């Protein structure tokens, strides 16, 4: 794809959906009622310091409802905006491969049969929750539907990851990517910009590392400080620097300029419920953030991969 002169000068998820599905596709976030080894005491009871009460799935369906009800509620709302759109069922909250294989099979396969409008499945998980038999099953599943596995990395820097209480290291992430590669699974890495004490160069280094891996996409988020999280307590007692919109746009535009051209950019900003967000308040204006990044890229005559090197 030629990004030069394109309104959004990078490989957007809508570009990919259009190429792959030939039409508008949106995600419907379902809640499979999972927990997480980083919260249930297996690795830790604290979780990642930024993890919200919902397990970073604040827009997912209500776990008290069955999957069909969750799907119908969200799908009907999305259909009002995109009447002919198709859906990807998205298991977002907590760690969605953290259960015995028969339970995962039952859940994922019943999700696929919720509606003929479902054209794919997206599963968010941790790299240390992808044992051999789960990876084998996911590979099998990727021949039945378009399968996206979303893997949290957040940062390549061990000092930050350890402070965040991620509970796994970079080797674990790289190893999971290797074991998922060579299949039809679309692997999407999640990263966070604005983690305390990381410099712009540190954040660019995280992208440089992703460039070396067999991944299909990246989701770029900013750090959200949300109420009722461990990070909120830390921040309120000892505030650390938060990126301004100008700094954030500069970092993301610079990351896109060095990003490998075939990596799909799923997000350049995050969503947070207004009532839970402490900082950065500017991130609530999602379209402003996106516009700032796009504008900056265009003003620099930059586009995805313009400064990529092997
Ligand atoms: S891995 Fe995800 S669900 Fe688990 S504690 Fe971290 S952010 Fe929360």
Residue whose Cα lies nearest atom 7 of ligand 1: it is 51
The top-scoring range by mean pLDDT among 47-51, 62-66, 205-209 is 205-209
Domain with residue 286: its CATH number is 3.80.30
Q: Which of 35, 38, 173, 190 to mutate to test the pocket of ligand 1 (most atoms within 8 A of CB)?
A: 38
Give the β-pairing of 264-267 and 217-222.
parallel
Q: Range of 82's domain?
A: 13-299
Q: Is residue 174 part of a domain?
A: yes
H or E element at residue 23:
none
Under the banding of pLDDT at 50, 70 and 90, the label for residue 56 is: low
Quote the percentage of the chain above a pLDDT of 90. Answer: 90
Q: What is the mean pLDDT of residues 229-233?
A: 95
Residues 6+ apart with CB under 8 A from 153: 127, 170, 173, 189, 190, 191, 206, 210
* Closest to 245 in 3D by CA, of 268, 272, 213: 268
**How many whole angstroms from 229 Cα to the centroid of ligand 1?**
11
Q: Is residue 40 part of a domain?
A: yes
Under the banding of pLDDT at 50, 70 and 90, the label for residue 310 is: confident
Residue 55: predicted pLDDT: 60
Atom of ligand 1 nearest to the CA of 52: 8
Residue whose Cα lies nearest atom 6 of ligand 1: it is 48
Q: Is residue 171 part of a domain?
A: yes
Q: Is residue 8 part of a domain?
A: no
* Residue pLDDT, tens place only, 117-156: 999 999 999 999 999 999 999 999 999 999 999 999 999 9
pTM of the full predicted structure? Answer: 0.96
Ligand 1 interacting residues, C-beta cut-off 6 A: 36, 38-39, 47-48, 51, 55-56, 94-95, 126, 152
**How many whole angstroms from 85 Cα to the centroid of ligand 1?**
30
Atom of ligand 1 nearest to the CA of 36: 4
Q: Which of 53, 56, 123, 154 to mutate to test the pocket of ligand 1 (most atoms within 8 A of CB)?
A: 56
Instruction: Domain count for the chain, please give it.
Output: 1
């Amino acid at each position: 794809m030629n990004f030069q002169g394109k309104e959004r000068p990078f490989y957007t998820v809508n570009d990919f959906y259009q190429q792959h599905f030939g039409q508008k596709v949106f995600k419907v976030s379902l809640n499979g009622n999972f927990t997480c080894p980083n919260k249930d005491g297996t690795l830790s009871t604290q979780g990642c310091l930024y993890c919200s009460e919902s397990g970073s799935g604040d827009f997912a369906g209500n776990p008290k409802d069955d999957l069909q009800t969750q799907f119908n509620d969200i799908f009907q709302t999305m259909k009002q905006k995109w009447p002919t759109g198709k859906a990807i069922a998205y298991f977002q909250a907590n760690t969605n491969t953290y259960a015995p294989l028969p339970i995962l099979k039952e859940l994922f396969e019943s999700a696929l049969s919720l509606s003929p409008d479902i054209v794919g499945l997206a599963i968010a998980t941790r790299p240390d929750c992808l044992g051999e038999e789960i990876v084998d099953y996911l590979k099998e599943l990727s021949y039945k539907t378009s399968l996206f596995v979303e893997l949290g990395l957040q940062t390549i820097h061990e000092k930050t990851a350890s402070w965040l209480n991620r509970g796994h290291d970079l080797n674990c992430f790289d190893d999971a990517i290797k074991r998922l590669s060579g299949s039809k699974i679309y692997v999407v890495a999640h990263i966070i910009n604005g983690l305390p004490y990381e410099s712009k160069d540190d954040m660019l280094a995280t992208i440089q590392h992703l460039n070396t891996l067999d991944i299909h996409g990246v989701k770029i988020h900013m750090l959200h400080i949300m109420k009722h999280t461990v990070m909120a307590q830390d921040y309120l007692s000892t505030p650390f620097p938060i990126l301004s919109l100008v700094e954030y746009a500069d970092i993301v535009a610079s990351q896109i300029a060095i990003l490998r051209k075939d990596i799909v950019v799923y997000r350049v900003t995050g969503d947070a419920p207004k009532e839970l967000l402490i900082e950065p308040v500017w991130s609530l204006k999602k379209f402003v953030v996106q516009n700032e990044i796009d504008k900056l890229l265009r003003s620099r005559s930059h586009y995805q991969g313009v400064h990529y090197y092997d």
